[in-house]
């Protein structure tokens, strides 16, 4: 299958490499061309624009936020200008509102659109074990099945409206943030009485508190292993904010508390540490530093 891939950051590079390794003919584009060169060495062709990548027929996008996805979809030489028949598979964690806007815009351009947001960190992407949270027309999801198999260990179909996948992913990321905060505070309570953080992680993972997310983040918190960031706090704050937007009038006080905590960390040290540090104080050496842009 001819595949376009747009967005070659920590996550996208690993996903595109998995598709190449699965024997797909991959055309890649990234705003910084240098990030595309390693994939070209693996057999990918580098496109001159998102539209050129999309003309492969099926194009996956993996971008940091709403603004980045809007630029490659709606911008000059963007995916929507590639012509009819294109299937755009958006893997980025973005807002429900943008997902609905993209759904309508692709329909108007005689294109198709699927939201297939992914759950996992860069090492999981490189290993092809992401969880794929997908929503869209059944025929389009069926067409994408071999691609999802190359980049993910499991695909969960959430419904026929792409916005369903976006809402699910935002709910999931909020839940991860809540787990990180809970584990951090649990360590602090037990630690006040001499319990070693690693011992506390073992307790949490070996009792009924155990979960895959505690298994991932608990050891990072215990070892204070927050850099280099696989997923920085500033991006986590973006996702919690989008979850708050998606909640509408629903009462979500924990999400608001998490957003406020993240805002304090970002104001103090830029939010550049991994979001597993969201239950920690700001880095003393950077207290008062300007927020990252």
Catalytic residues: 169
Contact 44, 26 (CB under 8 A): yes
| Residue of 107, 49, 113, 108 lying closest to 75 (CA atoms) | 49
* Both structure tokens of 270: 């830029």
What angle is formed at CA 5 by the lines to CA 217 and CA 242, rounded to 5 degrees?
Answer: 45
Six-digit token string for 175: 């839940």
- Residue 213: strand, helix, or coil: helix
Which residues in 265-293 are b (16+ Cβ under 10 Å) and which e? Answer: bbebbbbbbbbbbbbbebbeeeeeeeeee
Residues 183-217 as b/e (b if ≥16 CB within 10 A, e otherwise) read bbebbeebeeeeeebeebbeebeeeeeeeebbebb
């Amino acid at each position: 299958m001819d595949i376009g891939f747009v967005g070659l950051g920590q996550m996208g590079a690993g996903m595109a490499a998995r598709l190449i390794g699965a024997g797909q003919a991959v055309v890649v584009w990234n705003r910084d061309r240098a990030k595309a060169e390693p994939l070209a060495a693996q057999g990918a062709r580098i496109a001159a624009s998102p539209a050129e990548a999309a003309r492969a027929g099926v194009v996956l996008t993996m971008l940091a936020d709403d603004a980045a996805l809007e630029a490659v979809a709606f911008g000059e030489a963007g995916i929507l200008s590639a012509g009819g028949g294109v299937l755009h598979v958006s893997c980025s964690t973005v807002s429900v509102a943008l997902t609905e806007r993209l759904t309508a815009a692709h329909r108007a351009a005689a294109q198709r659109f699927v939201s297939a947001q992914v759950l996992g960190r860069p090492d999981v992407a490189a290993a092809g074990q992401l969880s794929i949270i997908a929503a869209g027309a059944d025929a389009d999801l069926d067409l994408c099945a071999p691609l999802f198999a190359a980049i993910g260990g499991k695909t969960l179909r959430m419904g026929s409206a792409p916005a369903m996948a976006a809402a699910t992913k935002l709910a999931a990321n909020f839940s991860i943030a809540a787990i990180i905060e809970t584990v951090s505070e649990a360590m602090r309570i037990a630690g006040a009485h001499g319990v070693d953080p690693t011992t506390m992680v073992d307790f949490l993972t070996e009792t009924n508190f155990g979960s895959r997310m505690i298994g991932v983040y608990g050891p990072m918190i215990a070892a204070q292993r927050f850099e280099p960031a696989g997923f920085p706090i500033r991006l986590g704050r973006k996702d919690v904010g989008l979850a708050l937007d998606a909640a509408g009038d629903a009462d979500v006080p924990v999400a608001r508390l998490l957003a406020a905590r993240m805002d304090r960390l970002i104001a103090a040290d830029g939010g550049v540490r991994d979001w597993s540090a969201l239950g920690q104080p700001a880095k003393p050496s950077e207290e008062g530093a300007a927020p990252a842009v």
